[in-house]
Amino acid sequence: MSTEKKPPATVGGPNGHPQLDREPLLDSYQAAAILKVHPRTLQRLVHRGEITAVHVGKLWRFRASALTAWIDRDMAS
């Protein structure tokens, strides 16, 4: 009998790839709904550098934590 430890039977996600614990990305409409602004207003904030976002193809994607951070910064000033 071997004393060698075996790795767990399942590693990562169901397809065998490592599972990443990442925050899901929101589209412009979802993010704008959280902030209660028009999606175009949200995109203007991104272009000004006030809110961070990721440009995926032609679409903007947002992290809810980035929106929360912007709200916290705005309320603090």
Q: Which is higher by pLDDT, 17 or 30? A: 30
pLDDT at 76: 76
Other Cβ atoms within 10 Å of 70 Cβ, number = 17
pTM for this model (two decimals)? 0.67
Contacts of residue 34, Cβ cutoff 8 Å, sequence gap at least 6? 26, 64, 67
Q: What is the pLDDT of residues 18-36, one digit of tens each?
A: 666 788 999 999 999 999 9
What average pLDDT does this structure show over 10-22? Answer: 64
> How far, in Å, CA of 51 to CA of 21, rounded?
22
What average pLDDT does this structure show over 49-63? Answer: 93
CB contact at 8 A, 30 and 63: no
User: Does residue 73 have a pLDDT over 80?
Assistant: yes
> How far, in Å, CA of 61 to CA of 68, rounded?
15
